[in-house]
A and B are shown apart, each in its own frame.
Chain A
Amino acid sequence: MPAIVPLRRASAGLWSNAWYRLRRDRLTVAASAVLLALMMLSIAAPLLSAYVFGMSFEEQSLLKAYAAPTLDPPGYLLGSDEVGRSQVVRLFYGGQVSLFVGFVGMFMNFTIGVGLGLVAGFFRGFIDDAITWFITTLNSIPLIFLLILITTLFTPGAVTLTIIIGVLFWTGITNFVRGQTFALREREFVTAARTVGASNARIMFRHILPNVLPLIFVLAAIDVGTIILAESALSYLGLGIMPPTPSWGNMLTNASSYFNRAWWLVVSPGVMVFLTVLCLYLIGDGLRDALDPRLKGAD
């Protein structure tokens, strides 16, 4: 990564400074571009399957099972699976599911995590103890075990799975927000706001939250990546997204038993998960460097 980018202009606000640095961080820009491309391809999956590849994600052709990657027909760009379905079309549809679960789940985590973190850090005392105890408890259950218990009980679809993940993965965000709020509530500007009669809610959301917000975006990017990893692992284990809905995880469930005949079926879904998560982590790192240049190069 490049060294600290010196600011060659008059100082501006935090966001415009961060944006300025971000645009000059080539790695982050590249990661954003790749992620954006993956999102667009996934969103455009129905269009692509109809007009470019000419195959739907369910269309089977047993005679053409295990086709090697080929341009003829274009639907087999990345080969075909055990019942002759187009791998590339299914990958894009799988992307819809993974990205949906990732981003919607993250928004839920974000809402719960920031809310509870602000409340715990601001009011302290009993409320803080209760929330901290709950977080300790939740963190002491290995997530995969908990998810397995829940998914056996409820047999989720994409939406249920999102909700399950959305109400489980917020503890890291809460811990961070709580710690920041702890420190911020003692600062002079909070006292000042209180002297002019600002309510608790106003202090929390108008004065403390904006100071915590920047670094939460870093956590959010990493959170989406973590969720996508968890979703793909669950779907691979047959407890997440169920076939026939394609997801990157459940595409690997079958592929792993056929790798002698079609190794490409094992490679491509994994590459998609890896690429998406890698981009999200890189963006998280880049955002942190841009928002807090003192940390630059420290990590």
Chain B
Amino acid sequence: MIRRLLYAIPTLLGISVIVFMLTRLSPGDPVRLFTFGSVTITEDDIRQLRAFYGLDQPLPVQYVNWMLGVLRGDFGMSLQYHKPALGLLLERLPATLQLALAALLLQLLIGVPLGVYAALKRGSWVDNAIRLFGVVGHAVPTFWIGLLAIILFAVTLRVLPSQGLLTVGKDQSDIIDRLRHIILPAFVLALAGIANYSRYLRTETLDVIAQDFVRTAHAKGLRNRTVVFTHALRNALIPMVTALGGLLAVLVSGSLIVEQIFTWPGAGQFTYAAARVKDYPVIMAGVMLGSTLLVVSYLIRDVLYAVVDPRIKAR
């Protein structure tokens, strides 16, 4: 497990190189950009400014300097707020995690039973309906479903709020109000995952229930429920843990879009807002934060994998 943890380091280093190189590859010299239109500035001033910000040094040196800052949590100041970029993002991270975890919970609680149920009722109309949902839910654009959900539930039916964490002016600890606010964004964010999990679980369950040990369990006279839950499901879940990786990536990416649509004050929405005004330190910090989140989720997935499948530990 520690080795796995060490593997995460070159990955994070690679990400930092990609992020850094991208911003340096972009056209335009930042010093000239910020001093553009200034009449009094001389070539000498520009040279001095470049030296001040370290822009005259070779790229690898610039990268190492930037990276040393990043390791101390220093991504530079937000150009818009004049506060540390990372701090601004971290303030908004809890909201993002709240939304992502709620969505993940919904995905597992709805997607897994749907898939298993479809496999058990193979060929019935329920199975067909779940399979149809598996394709449709995957193909529908998240942001569009979000817009439609707002129009239907928040504007037309007026049953659920569509914006923010909680009603303005209400008590922070009003759980009911918070829950009401999270329902729409969490469901919209969860939709693609629910569809995917139901597909995976159906395939895997079908695979497992065709195997000998399931027949043996039935032959022993075990109840159907016991066979499904303790014998089949546990084995069907193993390959799904692998699939979890890609789905977590979709979740982190999707959270940015969903946060934007539902004006959910999270780190994703903040990064997007920074992108609109080209606030580079915040965007870079946002990309690094999102990636770190993903790398950590991959680690958790691998731990889970060892828990579900003890054979992995031996390796």
Chain A interfacial positions (CB closer than 8 Å to B) = 1, 133-134, 136-146, 148-154, 225, 229, 232-233, 236-239, 252, 256, 259-260, 263, 266-267, 269-270, 273-274, 277-278, 280-282, 285, 297-299
By the criterion of a CB under 8 Å from any partner CB, how many residues of chain B are at the interface? 58
5 closest pairs, A vs B, by CB?
A270-B144, A137-B14, A153-B26, A144-B253, A278-B139
Which residues of A have CB within 8 Å of B290?
Answer: 141-142, 145
B151 at the interface (CB under 8 A from A): yes
A137/B148 in contact, CB under 8 A: no
B11/A270 in contact, CB under 8 A: no
Are B294 and A140 interface neighbours, CB within 8 A?
A: yes
> Once the chains bind, are B139 and A298 in contact (CB under 8 Å)?
no
B202 touches A299 (CB 8 A): yes
Q: Chain B residues with Cβ under 8 A from A281's Cβ?
A: 135, 138-139
Secondary structure of the B side of the interface? helix
CB distance A149 to B143 under 8 Å? Answer: no
**Chain B residue at smallest Cβ distance from A154:** B26
Please give, as numbers and ranges, the residues of chain B lying within 8 Å of A134 by CB-CB distance. Answer: 14
Residue in A141, A237, A256, A285 whose CB lies within 8 Å of B291: A141
Q: Min CB distance, B92 to chain A, in Å?
A: 14
| Cβ contacts A to B, 26 pairs, < 8 Å | A137-B14, A137-B15, A139-B245, A139-B249, A140-B294, A140-B298, A141-B15, A144-B253, A145-B268, A145-B286, A145-B290, A149-B275, A149-B284, A152-B275, A152-B283, A229-B139, A229-B141, A233-B257, A236-B143, A237-B143, A237-B272, A266-B151, A269-B144, A274-B139, A278-B139, A297-B122
- Chain B residues contacting A148 (CB-CB under 8 Å) are 256, 271-272, 275, 283, 287
Residues of A within 8 A of B142 (CB): 233
**Are B283 and A273 closer than 8 Å at their CB atoms?**
no
With a cutoff of 8 Å between Cβ atoms, the chain A residues found around residue B15 in the complex are 137, 140-141
Checking A1, A238, A256, A277 against B276 with a beta-carbon cut-off of 8 angstroms, the contacting residue is A238
Bitwise interface map of B from 119 to 144 toward A, beta carbon under 8 Å scored 1, else 0: 00010000010010001101111111
B-side contacts of A266, CB under 8 Å: 144, 147-148, 151
245-275 of chain B: CB within 8 A of chain A: 245, 249, 252-254, 256-257, 260, 268, 271-272, 275
Taking CB atoms, residues of chain B closer than 8 Å to A285 are: 135
Asked if residues B19 and A149 are in contact (CB atoms below 8 Å), the reply is: yes
Chain A positions within 8 Å of B181 at CB level? none
Q: Given the complex, which residues of B lie within 8 Å of A133, measured CB to CB? A: 10-11, 14
Indicate whether B234 reaches chain A with its CB closer than 8 angstroms: no
Q: Is the CB of B136 within 8 A of A145?
A: no
Q: A140-B298, A148-B271 are in contact. Are A237 and B287 (CB under 8 A)?
A: no
Closest to B12 in A: A140
Bound form: Cα–Cα A73–B285 in Å: 51
A85 → B minimal CB distance (Å): 20
Q: A263 and B249 in contact (CB under 8 A), knowing A140-B298, A233-B142?
A: no
Q: Which residue of B lies closest to A256 (CB)?
A: B147
Q: Could you say which residues of chain B place their CB within 8 Å of the CB of A233? A: 141-143, 257
A141 contacts B23, CB within 8 Å? Answer: no
Bound-state Cα–Cα, A143 to B268, Å: 12
Cβ contact within 8 Å between B22 and A153: yes
- In the bound complex, residues from chain A placing their C-beta under 8 Å from that of B62 are none
Q: Is B155 interfacial (CB 8 A cutoff)?
A: yes
The answer on a CB contact under 8 Å between B283 and A149 is yes
- Closest residue to B298 on the A side, CB-wise? A140
Contact B11 A252 (CB under 8 A): no
Q: What is the CA–CA distance of A259 and B149 in the complex, to the nearest angstrom?
A: 12
Question: How far apart are the CA atoms of A170 and B283 in the complex, in Å?
Answer: 24
Which chain A residue has the least Cβ–Cβ distance from B277?
A152
Closest B residue to A139 by beta carbon equals B249
* Apart from A137-B10, A152-B280, A273-B141, 19 more pairs, CB < 8 Å: A1-B128, A137-B15, A138-B18, A142-B253, A143-B253, A145-B271, A148-B283, A149-B283, A229-B141, A233-B257, A237-B143, A263-B151, A266-B147, A266-B151, A270-B148, A274-B144, A277-B140, A281-B135, A298-B207
